[in-house]
């Protein structure tokens, strides 16, 4: 589990840098609020990080998340909804 937690630290720093606020829901699950309509859910499962990005504001936000995370230990889903 420590491998996943280390990855979360790097991701937390990057998301904070771009203005996202986080809420820790449990030891394994965090939510990040980026702007008015983007939510990022991050869950650590053993040494793997599962990420759901709901309604990403920009492609750059998705690219920033992908750049920080190692591909072999990450699963990302991007969900888009028409929030108004």
The boundaries of the domain holding residue 56 are 2-79
How do the pLDDT tens digits run along the chain, 84 residues long?
Answer: 345 566 788 888 999 998 999 999 998 899 999 988 899 999 988 888 899 999 998 888 899 888 888 878 889 999 887 655
Which long-range CB contacts under 8 A does 67-74 form with residues at least 24 apart? 67/14, 68/7, 68/10, 68/11, 68/14, 69/7, 69/10, 69/11, 70/7, 73/3, 73/4, 73/7, 73/47, 73/48, 73/49, 74/7, 74/48, 74/49
For residue 56, give the CATH number of its domain.
Answer: 3.30.310
Q: Which two tokens stand for residue 5?
A: 């937690």
Residue 73 lies in a domain: yes
**Per-residue model confidence (pLDDT) at position 1:** 39
Going by C-alpha positions, the residue among 8, 5, 3 that lies closest to residue 68 is: 8
Q: Is residue 33 domain-resident? A: yes
The count of structural domains within the chain is 1
43 falls within a domain: yes
pLDDT score of 4: 57
Residue 84 lies in a domain: no
Q: What is the pLDDT of residue 42?
A: 94
pTM (2 d.p.): 0.82
């Amino acid at each position: 589990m420590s491998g996943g937690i280390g990855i979360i630290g790097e991701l937390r720093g990057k998301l904070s840098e771009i203005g996202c606020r986080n809420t820790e829901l449990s030891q394994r699950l965090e939510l990040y609020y980026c702007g008015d309509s983007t939510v990022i859910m991050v869950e650590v499962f053993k040494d793997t990080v599962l990420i759901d990005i709901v309604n990403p504001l920009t492609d750059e936000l998705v690219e920033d998340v992908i750049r920080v995370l190692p591909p072999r230990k990450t699963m990302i889903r991007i969900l888009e909804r028409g929030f108004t």
